[in-house]
Amino acid sequence: MPSMTHSTRPILYIWIGAAATLAFALGTTGPSAARARLDAEHAQNSLRDATGHARVIAALRTQSTDAPQDDPSRGGLTPRVTAALQRAGLATGALASLSPEAETVVATHDGVRVMRRRATLSLSGVTLPQVGKFLDAWRSAEPAWTPVSIDLSPVGGKPPEAGGDLPLRAAIAVEAFTLHHDGGQR
């Protein structure tokens, strides 16, 4: 190593001091910078997720206004079920019972309430193909009312004719959802 001159020694000490100060500054601020970077990445991911959720909510709101809604002004369920029975070619006497339930609140968020209406209707003395025709007529006439369960059981009495269908009792539960926003239905 070449000998240092008296004038270069202070410059070397200044460089060593500057490097030590820089190393100390990086050592103390480095972990906080790394934490801040991780926090920023988490915030960006949360923002990306929230943006995606907002798009989904906006799409659902658009779909909910375009979707067929149950119109209470069209009257009660009995005439609507009777009309579907007639469209399916069934006698109105096939309707054994109709039990509507009270409207219930399913969810509430930011002034929007999701309401559910349910009803159970029973058809008696019908065959399986007739139940299918009724469900098809119901779906086309009442798209807001969705069948959620169907319970089929044989009707007692005389056995079916050879090659004929077994008479059934069909209990069909249907439900409809509506949105209420700031006191108005959507």
Please write the tens of the pLDDT for every residue from 63-101. 555 444 555 545 688 899 999 999 999 998 999 999 999
- Cα separation, 54 vs 46, in Å, equals 12
* CA count, 13 A, side-chain hemisphere, 44: 6
- Cα separation, 100 vs 7, in Å, equals 101
- Mean pLDDT for 31-48 is 88
The dihedral through the CA atoms of 62, 63, 66, 68 has a sign that is negative
Give the pLDDT band of residue 111 (cuts 50, 70, 90): confident
- Mean pLDDT for 127-135 is 93
Q: What is the dihedral of CA 132, 133, 134, 140, to 10 degrees?
A: 110
Identify the pLDDT of residue 174. Answer: 95
Structure tokens at 110: 């930011």
Identify the pLDDT of residue 137. Answer: 94
96 or 52, which is more confident: 96
Q: Which of 63-72, 114-123, 151-160 has maximum average pLDDT?
A: 114-123
List CB contacts of 84: < 8 A, sequence separation 6 or more: 134, 137, 138, 141, 142
Asked if 112 contacts 180 with a C-beta cutoff of 8 angstroms, the reply is yes
Give the pLDDT band of residue 29 (cuts 50, 70, 90): confident
Q: Which of 3-7, 162-166, 170-174, 181-185 has maximum average pLDDT?
A: 170-174
